[in-house]
Structure 1
Amino acid sequence: MFASLCFAEKEQIWRVHDEVEAHELDRMVYAERQRTEPGPAGRPSNLKMAQAKDTQKTAEGSDPWEDEIVEIDSIYDPLEPMNRAFFQFNDKLYFWVLKPVATGYSAVVPEFGRVCIRNFFSNLVMPIRAISCLLQGKFEALGIVLVRFVVNSSAGFLGFQDVAKQALNFPIQDEDLGQVFAFYGIGPGFYLDLPFLGPYSIRDAVGWGGGLFINPFDYMVNFWPNVGIRAYDIVNKTSLRIGDYEAMKEAAIDPYVALRDAYYQYRLHLIEK
């Protein structure tokens, strides 16, 4: 169990979630740019526009820039100084350790093989997805989860191939216990940027911890092999997404705020599905 705490299955240090699609990352980066970057000559920055929204009204009472402002919900962050310190730690961990290892690994293992390995590990967490769907009454999603597991474990050679998505158009169902808590009205609480683990809300951190008890992988493998296997899983996944974290940092005025808001927006997106 402790191995799972050291090497989190959701390596959120350099991205928001295991299954974040490219267009979703682009949308969140665009929103962050709209919130913080300077506007064209002769127009205030979007952030200043938002701050001055109540005082910059026209004579008719309308806001001339209202349609151009992207409103972003943000999570309560009372521990920001501590979280920023952990963000810097995770940032250095990524650039000094994880990225170099993943880059070297990608030079040795072809992309096709790395995708197959990612599919295999993703297939193993079926119980978490299935139980989360059941507890939320998402029976259609539960059926997809079960069919995906059976098809991919058999026709997909133990999950190395995602046959269910390719042949049946059954995509991965992103469900976890954090979403279950939200379904029953539990709020996110406050924000945490944890060393090694990255961004979480209190609700999602508790949900992630609960998921460890229903993940069969933690009961099938002893401590040290578990540590090594999970570390390998993280390196493999990182090798397929090198550049995503860098793009977010480059686009953001404040990378810490960008990651925090992107994480929260993505979790809201999952909960509202």
Structure 2
Amino acid sequence: MWLKQIISVWVIIGLFGVSVSVWGAGYGVDSGFVDEFSEPAINVQDLDPWMPINRMLFKFNDRVYVSVVRPTARVYQFLFPMRVRKPVRQVVRTVAMPVDIANYVLQGRIGMASKQMGRFLVNATVGIGGVFDVADPWLGWSHRPTSFGDTLGRWGVPKGPYLVLPFLGPTTLRNSVNTPFSMYASRQYIPDEFNQSEWTGRTATMFEALVNGYNAIYMNALDPYSVVREWELNKGE
């Protein structure tokens, strides 16, 4: 039932985004300055056709960050020292690895899938459930995450326009499937009794990572929206 609801949400977002792209057609950037030695300018309208609604959702997510994410992350960091948070982060990473392995198989990258499978088995056993990362220093099998969006890109699906989702943050139209796919795939192998613990650890780890990235952007950027957009569109290139 919940999967149908998620699919419905993506359909609504897609339809709404099409209408917004028409409304925001006049928001392209034109400085009026032409440099004959510069590369052809990239039309922002092509990369970010839904900019008005994206900026609105960016501000909404910013308020969520200030009121929820940052305070929660600070409490988490205050209550638990790094020697506790680091193993939690490593366990969360290990639990998510079967989804990475499945994506590498779907991409046809069997060699990478084999290495990540070996990393998963070593850390899940010798590393005591992923608490310790022994596969990297011992065998050179480093963590190489991937996503369903990468899988689609492997087979020629373009990234599509930039998109900001409420709560989930910046992405592209293609990569917007990452969260629903990961949620569905992980529920196929995580026992029900561990779902809440896995979700709690993953959320705490994500919030902590967001704080570091957020501070770096807002301390150095005149327009954080543009900086985040450029990073997202160039990610994985």
TM-score range, shorter chain: 0.7 to 0.9
**Cα distance between partner residues in 2 of 1:104 and 1:166:** 32
1:134 matched to 2:116: no
**Cα distance between partner residues in 1 of 2:209 and 2:162:** 27
Provide the residue aligned with 1:246 in structure 2.
215
**Cα distance between partner residues in 2 of 1:233 and 1:139:** 27
Q: Is the 8 A contact 2:89 2:201 kept in 1?
A: no
**Cα distance between partner residues in 2 of 1:144 and 1:96:** 41
Provide the residue aligned with 1:36 in structure 2.
none
**Cα distance between partner residues in 1 of 2:123 and 2:42:** 38
Provide the residue aligned with 1:235 in structure 2.
204
1:2, distance to aligned residue in structure 2 (A): 5.2
1:174 matched to 2:145: yes
**Cα distance between partner residues in 2 of 1:214 and 1:91:** 29
Provide the residue aligned with 1:27 in structure 2.
none
**Cα distance between partner residues in 1 of 2:148 and 2:101:** 10
> Quick one: which amino acid aligns to residue 243 of structure 1?
N
Provide the residue aligned with 1:17 in structure 2.
none
Computed over aligned residues only, the root mean square deviation of the Cα atoms, in angstroms, reads 2.9
Helix, strand or coil for the counterpart of 2:47? Answer: coil
> Quick one: which amino acid aligns to residue 251 of structure 1?
N
Provide the residue aligned with 1:77 in structure 2.
48
Q: Which has the higher contact order (CA 8 A, sep 6+)?
A: 1
Helix, strand or coil for the counterpart of 2:186? Answer: coil
Structure 1 counterpart of 2:85, from 90, 111, 114? 114
1:98, distance to aligned residue in structure 2 (A): 1.0
**Cα distance between partner residues in 1 of 2:115 and 2:34:** 48
1:174, distance to aligned residue in structure 2 (A): 1.8
**Cα distance between partner residues in 1 of 2:211 and 2:106:** 35
Change (3 A) 1:180 1:248: same
1:216 matched to 2:198: no
Q: Is the 8 A contact 1:249 1:255 kept in 2?
A: yes
1:197 matched to 2:168: yes
Change (3 A) 1:240 1:256: closer
Provide the residue aligned with 1:22 in structure 2.
none
| Bigger proportion of residues as helix | 2
Structure 1 counterpart of 2:34, from 42, 52, 58? 52
State the TM-score, normalizing by the size of structure 2: 0.77
> Quick one: which amino acid aligns to residue 231 of structure 2?
A
**Cα distance between partner residues in 2 of 1:95 and 1:163:** 36
Aligned length: 210
> Quick one: which amino acid aligns to residue 184 of structure 1?
W
1:145 matched to 2:127: no
